[in-house]
Amino acid sequence: MKILFQGDSITDAGRDRSNIHDLGHGYPYYAAELIKSSLPDTEFEFINRGISGDRAESLLARWENEAIAHDPDIISILIGVNDTWHHSNPNDNWMKHSYFEHCYRTILTAIKEKTHAKIIMIEQFLLYTPDKAYFREDLAPKIEITRKLAREFADAYIPMDGLFAKASVEKEPTYWAADGVHPTAEGAKLMATYYRDAVVDILKSMT
């Protein structure tokens, strides 16, 4: 069972890019460990192709070679926060929502048309920090686009923005992501539990 992690720096998580099986130190690493312990009778191959700084358009540009070509059984995608963050300069304009949707939809359509992979979509998220609170103006509509696409394409959806909001009632947001975007070890471990659950549910549906 081949599982491919795709996304931006949250997925990249400092991985060794010369080794596609190096999972970095973020949620892919913890998720792989949980999946293996939960499903010990299944043989897994885990591949991490996350690239720090990626937006939906940059993910699309490398999609054929770094996603489709791997022919995964399960592919997960976490993308979107940079589509807001990289356009957050007051002198810039927010990325058009329609362009974000076009890029993401094209990626998802390619999976459906060119692979047999099941799709896990992970919602982009932002935990509260004073310096990034204004990102919500642009992020919230793009999260709604992600949810709309998930209704069309996803075999499993992990609503991480909402899940981190819930977790932030129990502990301060910085406990989960010090800068509001990049998870701490505890934040990555929380993501991994939901990821494991999604994989288990998908495999159950296949039997």
Residue 207 is predicted with a pLDDT of: 76
Confidence (pTM):
0.96
Residue 146 is predicted with a pLDDT of: 98
**pLDDT tens-digit map of 93-150:** 899 999 999 999 999 999 999 999 999 999 999 999 999 999 999 999 999 999 999 9
**pLDDT tens-digit map of 157-170:** 999 999 999 999 99
**pLDDT tens-digit map of 25-71:** 999 999 999 999 999 999 999 999 999 999 999 999 999 999 999 99
- At which residue do the structure tokens 């075999």 appear? 155
Q: How far apart are the first and last CA of the chain?
A: 13
* Phi/psi at 45 (5° precision): -120, 125
Provide, rounded to the nearest whole percent, the portion of the chain with pLDDT above 70: 99
Q: Which long-range contacts (CB under 8 A, 24 or more apart) does 176-181 make?
A: 176/127, 177/127, 179/129, 179/132, 180/126, 180/127, 180/128, 180/129, 180/131, 180/132, 181/10, 181/81, 181/85, 181/126, 181/127, 181/132
Cα 203 to chain centroid distance, Å, stands at: 19
User: Domains in the chain, start-ordered, CATH in brackets?
Assistant: 2-206 (3.40.50.1110)
